Structure 1
Amino acid sequence: MRDICVVGLGRIGLPLAVQFAAKGHLVTGTDTDPETVAGAAAGRGPHAADAELDELLAEAVADGRLRASTDTTAAAAGADAVVLALPLDIGPDGEPDFQALDAATDAVAAGLRPGALVSYESTLPVGTLRGRFARRLEAGSGLVAGRDFWLVASPERTRTGRALADLRHHPKLVGGIDPDSTRQGAEFYRAVLDFDSRPDLPRINGVWELDGAETAELAGLAESAYRDVNIALVNQLARFADRVGVDLDQVIEACNSRPHTRLHRPGIAVGGHRVPVHPRLYLWNDPHATVVRAAREANEALPGYAVGLLEGALGPLTGVGVRILGASYRGGVRETGNSGVFPLVTALRAAGAEVSVSDPRYTPGELAALGLPPDEGKPAAALVVQADHPEYRDLGAADHPDVRVLLDGRRITDPARWEGVRRIVLGGGA
């Protein structure tokens, strides 16, 4: 049994803390937000959590295997393994915002004890663990990384709403600042994780020991960059399909009939904590990554393209009511991290539209607190589906009798339900 400190109780850290506790380890989860700590200490998961996470969290707290605190230094002092699970975001200047991770690192260093393992689950630019955080940990603790404590990068690979399942399904990548750190990190994760049987690919599941921290860092970035590039490709194909009158859905189905082709689906925006952010972290220290840069720029242009589609159908949008369905960055979750709703609202307002937003997972007051104009029932000539919430599948013209144009940015609506309304989909050949 291990004593583990998990720093950050958000979408990455809380599932990790619950998983470690479920394996019988003693876990202290820390966070700087007192509300988050109080919720975790009471066994209450966030609204974005899945049912499995909520159940296991309540059990771990009741059994005393999981505690929560705002004192990271004290928790680190009592731990033989410290896992930092804070997301690294992009600042207003387009560069990584290290403020939160720097502060967490300093708090860990103040309590770090000899022989401990420190693992960064955050996705980091290549060279950050060795060049930045190893130095901060050494300066704050008086210990030497690779001699007095072990240090690894193990980028998270989970999605909101199914984090525990993803921890079981995907191999755990571990790379240390030296071979001993890598071995210690791999041993730790083998002791705290469970892995599903994979009869289709039985050899890949489990813990993967990589050559070093930089290899793990680049792997974390490359996953999101690959997805961003793939999405950018289909989004550009969708725009071309619209110009030449081709239904891209048939093209994608035809191409994906070959096993080595896996085109994604076009969408009105690319949101979430990973895909819009990690390519920017990669670009930060690889100025030659022209493909990744072009993909990011192409995906960021989609909200503007959506506005152009509406203008093509309705004419100038000045004073025109536009109702957006979905504040979440993807369907089925209550999470607005880097959601496409924000640039979409900005682009529509710039075109003069009167914009409103609704989402079945948010109250009007919560939307307003996010800076989004809540739907107040005012007439709207256009409806835009931004998130593919399952509730939107059954919507039809009768539910929005004022709407003349539907822009389904996720291809989730049923065309038969929208008779009398011009329905536009990305790549639909309109």
Structure 2
Amino acid sequence: MRICVVALGKIGLPLAVQFASMGHRVIGADVDEKVVGLVNAGVVPFPGETDLDTKLEKVVAEGLLSATTDTAAATAESDAVVVVVPLFVDGDGKPDFKWMDSATKSIAAGLRPGTLVSYETTLPVGTTRTRWAPMLKEGSGLTPGEDFSLVFSPERVLTGRVFADLRRYPKLVGGIDEASARRGVEFYEAVLEFDERPDLGRPNGVWDLGSAEASELAKLAETTYRDVNIGLANQFARFAGAAGVDIAKVIEACNTQPYSHIHSPGIAVGGHCIPVYPRLYLWNDPDATVVSAAREANAGMPEYSVGLLAESYGVLDGAAVLVLGASYRGGVKETAFSGVFPVVEALRARGAVPYVSDPMYTPDELAKLGLPAHQGAPVTALIIQSNHEEYKKLGAADFPGVRVVVDGRRVTDPANWDGVKHVVIGA
């Protein structure tokens, strides 16, 4: 097949490489000329994705993958178009479709009869049928479901392990009609391979959920579940801390029972997914009080963590505090909705002087993110925001003069902090 993947980001590029690795000819379309140039040179434009460098170099050398900034032209050459353009929400939780609208109009300009269009970007329920189908029809003159196939098939992978996740999890597909769904199933069966999963109770592979709306809801539901679960864990942790109970031991005990799957509490919930998709769900279902309460609970954890520091340290006015970790999670060079931003804001609100360091970022890169990079100034307190591997061996000897450390991820060993007040969430 000839396949166009629209947006060569941290999900789109591995997808394009996966499709090409199966022997299909793939054109990656992206608005960033620098990204396009790097991909055409066989160079990964971002770090951290397992095996992407070697796989990309191979398929580019074999002539199976190329990149362009001309989405319409790439669409016109393709049998299938897979869309992985980011969707953002504003501060009120309202979806901002600007980037996706632009990409969809470009796709429509090059759309030919018989093409499959698959949206993988997480969407509010109903978006594929009520927004993309009319937009594609208007721009192409073609009728969805008759002249071309249209499906929603959510990405279900985690950055850093995309290729492994593509094999492990069933690929969900929902079409705007039965014919579109069949075409979508056939497409993904031809571009993906799956691990054996006896635990699923049915064969791993491509699952038709019956409609685009069901597929859209499945992605929102599985991700919103995680936010709600973490929100509950955070509330348990706050109560446990006040009661002098170690919540980690409680959760470990609870999860030995097969119906309990309590997640881990922590200083923040970041990334492109968990902080965002519950808001997309709430846009559809604003009366979902459980979802909104969990989102509020999780959003309050950075301020709560700074409060823990103040309880042990005393007045923070003028205190130099180093925040360890800008990334939203360990091992990933990404700051989308990272807890570092509200932690820094909460420290400043209490009069502290915050600094930030991260082994994955240079001081200049941190400065470009609007973060106060640490360049050797003495500090008297630490807040650990990311669970980078490098932090596991840290101790008091690494930070002379530090009086208190708040480990928001339970990544450090308390035994290494002799003479320093070591604080964790939920204990």
- Superposition TM-score tier, normalisation by shorter sequence: over 0.9
- 1:6-405 map, 5 Å: 6-201=5-200, 203-405=202-404
- 8 Å CA contact 1:12–1:86 kept in 2: the answer is no
- SS of the equivalent of 1:394 reads coil
Q: Work out the CA distance in 2 between the residues paired with 1:300 and 1:17.
A: 34
Q: Work out the CA distance in 1 between the residues paired with 2:311 and 2:213.
A: 48
- SS of the equivalent of 1:336 reads coil
- SS of the equivalent of 2:422 reads strand
Q: Work out the CA distance in 2 between the residues paired with 1:357 and 1:323.
A: 6
| Unaligned 5+ runs, structure 1 | none
* Percentage of pairs with the same residue: 62
Q: Work out the CA distance in 2 between the residues paired with 1:105 and 1:343.
A: 34
Q: Work out the CA distance in 2 between the residues paired with 1:285 and 1:202.
A: 31
- 8 Å CA contact 1:5–1:30 kept in 2: the answer is yes
TM-score scaled by length of structure 2: 0.98
- SS of the equivalent of 1:305 reads helix
Q: Render the CA deviation track for 1:264-316: whole Å, top value 9, x for unaligned.
A: 11110000110000000111121111100100011000011011111111122
With 195-204 and 235-244 compared, the bigger mean Cα shift is at 195-204
- SS of the equivalent of 2:51 reads helix
| Paired letter, 2:167 | R
TM-score scaled by length of structure 1: 0.98
Q: Work out the CA distance in 2 between the residues paired with 1:42 and 1:402.
A: 48
Q: Work out the CA distance in 2 between the residues paired with 1:199 and 1:152.
A: 27
| Paired letter, 2:410 | R
- 8 Å CA contact 2:2–2:78 kept in 1: the answer is yes
- 8 Å CA contact 1:239–1:427 kept in 2: the answer is yes
Q: Render the CA deviation track for 1:327-372: whole Å, top value 9, x for unaligned.
A: 1110111111111111111111111110111011111111111111
Q: CA deviation at 1:204?
A: 4.4
Q: Render the CA deviation track for 1:70-123: whole Å, top value 9, x for unaligned.
A: 000000000010000012111244310100000000000000000000000000
2:419 aligned with 1:420: yes
With 166-175 and 204-213 compared, the bigger mean Cα shift is at 204-213
Q: Work out the CA distance in 2 between the residues paired with 1:343 and 1:64.
A: 45
Q: Work out the CA distance in 1 between the residues paired with 2:394 and 2:338.
A: 22
- 8 Å CA contact 1:48–1:160 kept in 2: the answer is no
| Unaligned 5+ runs, structure 2 | none
RMSD value over aligned CA atoms? 1.0
Q: Work out the CA distance in 2 between the residues paired with 1:64 and 1:202.
A: 39
With 330-339 and 12-21 compared, the bigger mean Cα shift is at 330-339
With 414-423 and 190-199 compared, the bigger mean Cα shift is at 190-199
Q: CA deviation at 1:248?
A: 0.4
| Paired letter, 1:132 | R
